[in-house]
Amino acid sequence: MKKFLVPVRWQVETVVMVEAENIEDAIHEAHCVDIDNMPDPDYVGDSFEIISECSIQEVPNASFDPNVVGDFSTWDKMPGGF
């Protein structure tokens, strides 16, 4: 059986508690919350979607491991650098 990389997205929602002087500041503070620390997000119903069928790629061989991280050690030498 072939394997494919299919770009997908979905939405989640939650509430965050921030300290602020007024609503405008609260909105600003909420934008600064680290998304990795947001409490118990809930899936937004019917939000799962394929981003683009044109972007689906067949995996070239059966040894694909999504846990393997690429070598980005030379990115600082690329035009524009990091």
The neighbouring-strand residues paired with 42 are: 13
**Percent residues over pLDDT 90 in the chain:** 52
Q: Which residue's entry shows tokens 């059966």?
A: 62
Mean pLDDT in residue range 49-65 = 82
Residue 26 DSSP symbol: H
* Coarse DSSP helix, strand, coil percentages of the chain, rounded to the nearest 5 percent: 20, 15, 65
pTM over the 0.75 mark: no
Interval 21-41: pLDDT, tens: 999 999 999 999 998 888 888
Residue 64 confidence (pLDDT) above 60: no
Which stretches within 9-52 are classed as H helix? 23-31
Sign of the Cα torsion 29, 49, 51, 2 reads positive
**Mean of the per-residue pLDDT values of the chain:** 84
